Copies of this chain bind each other. A is one copy, B any other.
Amino acid sequence: MCAHKRTKQKAAIRQVFASALGPLGPSEILDEARKTVPSLGIATVYRVVKELKKDGWLQAVQTPVGSRFQTTSKVQSPRFFCRTCQKTFNVDGDVGKLAQLAPKGFIVKCFDLTIVGTCSSCAVTITPDGTTKNVLSS
């Protein structure tokens, strides 16, 4: 009893995460996975995400626009949220030394770091003559 079955819905959802550049929300997962399994329903997305979280394959992370999910292998990475395009990217970097910020007596499990700003695509526009210009005022 209780064995998980392989279905095309689950395969499609895992594939979506495998090729994602950053954490995804339920509706993003649905839109992307429906390209493979058009009949997919949102309830299944939530249920599969819950199962994958329980299995430890996915984890929730917070972004300025709400909860998103990504594979556990990528989850400890710091993230960069672009206020212009509203997308989140994983970035490299070691955040282990942040443990020292915790007050005495507090047990540290992990970190959830989002750097907020403007990504390179949104910050810079290539002008026709080949130079670049910053499109932001502040």
Contact = CB atoms under 8 A, between A and B. Distances in A.
A126 interface: no
A3 interface: no
Interface of A: 60, 62-64, 66-67, 78, 80-83, 89, 91-93, 95, 98-99, 101-120, 123-124, 136
Contacts of A91: 101-103
Given A106-B119, A107-B117, A136-B107, A112 B80 contact: no
B114 A111 contact: yes
A126 to B, nearest CB: 12
A120 B106 contact: yes
Given A64-B62, A112-B114, A123 B105 contact: yes
Given A80-B103, A93-B101, A115 B120 contact: no
